[in-house]
């Protein structure tokens, strides 16, 4: 069984699947950790119960999302070795220390203070508890910084030499490696994406409860906070994305050409292809709808600026264009929809109908999950766009993999798919169940309450109670 399959394709599928699934959770928990820190800070400053209630409400959801992020993240740190041992051996001296720093400065910080954040309010008092919350939030941001640095180095490697064993080794300053050319752009774009994703989720939950009960103070507060965030951050994100794109054009030109669908060079200004069906085999985009010269305007800020085409590069160095082309359009399209939501919410504020305008609430609910879709689409764009390399321009994916046995990789891929859909499906279901109940005054800590241990209370009563006590 499985012997006829290409183990490298299987290993890539396995990595893509596990990393995509994994990133859903951090992209939410990075933003949510900061939101929790803001809520608790506001509560400490103003003393208003609503902030504490919202804090406790979202903390229960955070506990589940964070746990799933941890367990799916540990998988990643070992998959580098199981599936990509040649890459690990060769790039380890450069990326290994950065990942070790991620563990040392971020993971331990998060894990050390998470227990106190979740279960320790009554033990350490409000101020020290707030410190714990801030440490967890800080940990998520530090973690993002290191891992984005690693990823960016793979996209735009700098500051290295290659030794006799064929390993990438640091040459010169570590700052050159950490602050490689695409790192600042990617970091900003990723962290803002997390904030935006979280605000869309919070906004959707607030909107859902507003539709059920318009006067609900908790729902109003979270909806309003989320809509401010979306209105402010969505335009910033579009701007940051544009800057990131210009950076990519400079350092990874074929990736941008794939995103744009430019097979042919355009010496007199490139058109913006809105839609179409790219084909690497034919080397062109079929059935395309295009706006003349707009691509040059966006990428070069000049209508007539020339752009190269993929055909200026060797055929075996092209990324799989259709995937990159479409995932990019999904991301950008959703980004503009988010901007639309932010603008409509501002309009509603001006008309003083933020809590009454049900159409806006429905729009916000529809937009709730789009942050995740956009984040994954963005990562697909940048990672598939990096192909055929793992370390851009220096190490081919085809030369990075472990001595793989097809049966082992196929069986484990299957196991990952089954386990992830089952386990994380259950987790997402529990999160939805927590979101579906209205926040109440005096929300409890996510304390494990053995008063409702199995076998004592009949099941329906448990459900009702867990609604109240969480």
Partner 1 sequence: MWFDPDLTIIWAAIIAFAIFAYVVMDGFDLGIGILFPFFDVGEERDQAMNSIAPVWDGNETWLVLGGGGLLAAFPIAYGIILPATYPLMIAMLLGLVFRGVAFEFRWRDPSHRPLWDAAFTMGSLVATLAQGITLGALLQGIEVSNDAYAGGWLDWLSPFSLLTGVSLIIGYALLGATWLIWKTEGRAQEHAFRLSFRFGIAMLVAVAAVSAATPFLHYQYWRSWFALPGVFLTAQVPLLVLISAFLFFRCLRRRAERAPFLLALMLFLLGFAGLAISMYPYVVPDQITIWDAAAPHDSQLFMLVGTAVIIPVIIAYTVWAYWVFRGKVGTHGYH
Applying the rule CB under 8 A, the residues between 200 and 259 that interact with partner 1 are none
User: In terms of CB distance, is 356 or 449 closer to partner 1?
Assistant: 449
- Min dist CB 378 to partner 1, Å, is 25
User: In terms of CB distance, is 333 or 467 closer to partner 1?
Assistant: 467
165 lines the binding site for partner 1 (CB under 8 A) = yes
454 lines the binding site for partner 1 (CB under 8 A) = yes
- Min dist CB 123 to partner 1, Å, is 5
User: In terms of CB distance, is 264 or 465 closer to partner 1?
Assistant: 465
- Min dist CB 94 to partner 1, Å, is 7
Using CA atoms, how far apart are residues 369 and 198, in angstroms rounded to an integer?
9
Using CA atoms, how far apart are residues 260 and 293, in angstroms rounded to an integer?
12
- Min dist CB 341 to partner 1, Å, is 30
User: In terms of CB distance, is 97 or 320 closer to partner 1?
Assistant: 97
131 lines the binding site for partner 1 (CB under 8 A) = no
436 lines the binding site for partner 1 (CB under 8 A) = no
452 lines the binding site for partner 1 (CB under 8 A) = yes
Q: Which residues contact 142 (CB under 8 A, 6 or more apart)?
A: 102, 105, 106, 109
Total of residues contacting partner 1 (CB under 8 A): 88
467 lines the binding site for partner 1 (CB under 8 A) = no
User: In terms of CB distance, is 314 or 455 closer to partner 1?
Assistant: 455
357 lines the binding site for partner 1 (CB under 8 A) = no
CB under 8 A: which stretch of 116-124, 237-245, 272-280, 371-379 binds partner 1?
A: 116-124
- Min dist CB 61 to partner 1, Å, is 10
User: In terms of CB distance, is 109 or 348 closer to partner 1?
Assistant: 109
Q: In the numeric block, which tokens belong to residue 212?
A: 């059920």
127 lines the binding site for partner 1 (CB under 8 A) = no
- Min dist CB 188 to partner 1, Å, is 24
* Sole binder of partner 1 in the list 13, 44, 111, 211 (CB under 8 A): 111
3-state SS string for the chain: CCCCCCHHHHHHHHHHHHHHHHHHHHHHHHHHHHHHHHHHHHHHHHCCHHHHHHHHHHHHHHHHHHHHHHHHHHHHHHHHHHHCHHHHHHHHHHHHHHHHHHHHHHHHHHHHHHHHHHHCHHHHHHHHHHHHHHHHHHHHHHHHHHHHHHHHHHHCCCCEEECCCCCEEECCCHHHHHCCCCHHHHHHHHHHHHHHHHHHHHHHHHHHHHHHCCCCHHHHHHHHHHHHHHHHHHHHHHHHHHHHHHHHHHHCHHHHHHHHCCCCCECCCCCEEEEEEEECCCCEEEEEEEECCHHHHHHHCCCCCCECCHHHCCHHHCCCHHHHHHHHHHHHHHHHHHHHHHHHHHHHHHCCCCCCCHHHHHHHHHHCCHHHHHHHHHHHHHHHCCCCEEECCCEEHHHCCCCCCHHHHHHHHHHHHHHHHHHHHHHHHHHHHHHHCCCCCCCCCCCCCHHHCCCCCCHHHHHHHHHHHC
414 lines the binding site for partner 1 (CB under 8 A) = no
CB 259, CB 328: distance < 8 Å: yes
* Sole binder of partner 1 in the list 71, 162, 436, 441 (CB under 8 A): 71
170 lines the binding site for partner 1 (CB under 8 A) = yes
Residues 78-97 binding partner 1 (CB under 8 A) are: 78, 80-82, 85-86, 88-97
CB 338, CB 240: distance < 8 Å: no
User: In terms of CB distance, is 159 or 269 closer to partner 1?
Assistant: 159
User: In terms of CB distance, is 70 or 303 closer to partner 1?
Assistant: 70
User: In terms of CB distance, is 117 or 233 closer to partner 1?
Assistant: 117
99 lines the binding site for partner 1 (CB under 8 A) = yes
67 lines the binding site for partner 1 (CB under 8 A) = yes
- Min dist CB 20 to partner 1, Å, is 16
340 lines the binding site for partner 1 (CB under 8 A) = no
* Sole binder of partner 1 in the list 421, 430, 432, 468 (CB under 8 A): 430
CB under 8 A: which stretch of 182-190, 233-241, 267-275, 442-450 binds partner 1?
A: 442-450
- Helix axes 7-46 and 183-212, enclosed angle (nearest 10): 60
Q: In the numeric block, which tokens belong to residue 78?
A: 């070992």
CB under 8 A: which stretch of 327-335, 336-344, 355-363, 422-430 binds partner 1?
A: 422-430
């Amino acid at each position: 069984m499985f012997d006829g399959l290409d183990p490298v394709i299987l290993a890539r599928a396995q990595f893509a699947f596990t990393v995509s699934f994994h990133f859903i959770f951090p992209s939410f928990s990075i933003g949510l950790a900061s939101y929790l820190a803001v809520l608790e800070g506001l509560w400490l400053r103003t003393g208003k119960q609503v902030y504490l209630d919202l804090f406790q409400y979202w903390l229960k959801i955070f506990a589940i999302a964070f746990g799933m992020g941890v367990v799916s993240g540990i998988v990643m740190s070992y998959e580098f070795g199981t599936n990509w041992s040649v890459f690990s051996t060769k790039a380890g001296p450069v990326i290994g220390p950065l990942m070790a720093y991620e563990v040392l400065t971020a993971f331990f910080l998060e894990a050390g203070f998470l227990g106190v954040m979740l279960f320790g309010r009554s033990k350490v008092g409000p101020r020290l508890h707030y410190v714990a919350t801030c440490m967890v939030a800080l940990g998520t941001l530090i973690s993002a910084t290191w891992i984005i640095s690693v990823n960016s180095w793979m996209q735009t490697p700098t500051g290295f030499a290659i030794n006799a064993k064929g390993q990438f080794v640091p040459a010169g300053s570590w700052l050159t490696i950490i602050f490689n050319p695409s790192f600042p752009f990617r970091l900003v774009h990723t962290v803002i994406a997390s904030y935006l994703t979280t605000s869309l989720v919070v906004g959707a939950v607030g909107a859902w409860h507003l539709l059920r009960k318009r006067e609900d103070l908790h729902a109003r507060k979270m909806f309003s906070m989320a809509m401010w965030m979306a209105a402010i951050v969505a335009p910033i994100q579009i701007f940051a994305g544009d800057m990131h794109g210009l950076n990519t054009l400079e350092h990874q030109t074929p990736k941008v050409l794939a995103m744009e669908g430019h097979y042919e060079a355009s010496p007199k200004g490139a058109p913006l292809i809105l839609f179409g069906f790219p084909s690497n085999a034919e080397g062109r985009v079929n059935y395309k709808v295009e706006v003349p010269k707009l691509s040059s305007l966006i990428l070069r800020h000049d209508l007539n600026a020339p752009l190269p085409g993929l055909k200026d590069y060797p055929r075996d160095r092209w990324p799989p264009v259709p995937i990159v082309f479409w995932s990019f359009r999904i991301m950008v399209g959703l980004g503009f929809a988010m901007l639309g939501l932010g603008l409509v919410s501002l309009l509603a504020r001006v008309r003083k109908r933020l809590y009454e305008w049900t159409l806006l609430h429905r729009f916000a609910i529809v937009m709730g999950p789009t942050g995740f879709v956009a984040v994954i689409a963005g990562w697909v764009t940048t990672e598939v766009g990096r192909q055929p390399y793992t370390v851009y321009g220096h190490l081919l994916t085809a030369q990075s993999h472990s001595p793989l046995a097809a049966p082992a990789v196929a069986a484990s891929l299957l196991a990952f798919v089954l386990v992830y859909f089952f386990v994380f499906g259950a987790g997402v279901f529990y999160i939805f169940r927590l979101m579906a109940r209205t926040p109440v005054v005096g929300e409890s800590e996510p304390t494990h309450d053995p008063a409702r241990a199995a076998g004592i209370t009949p099941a329906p009563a448990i459900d009702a109670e867990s609604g109240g006590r969480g």
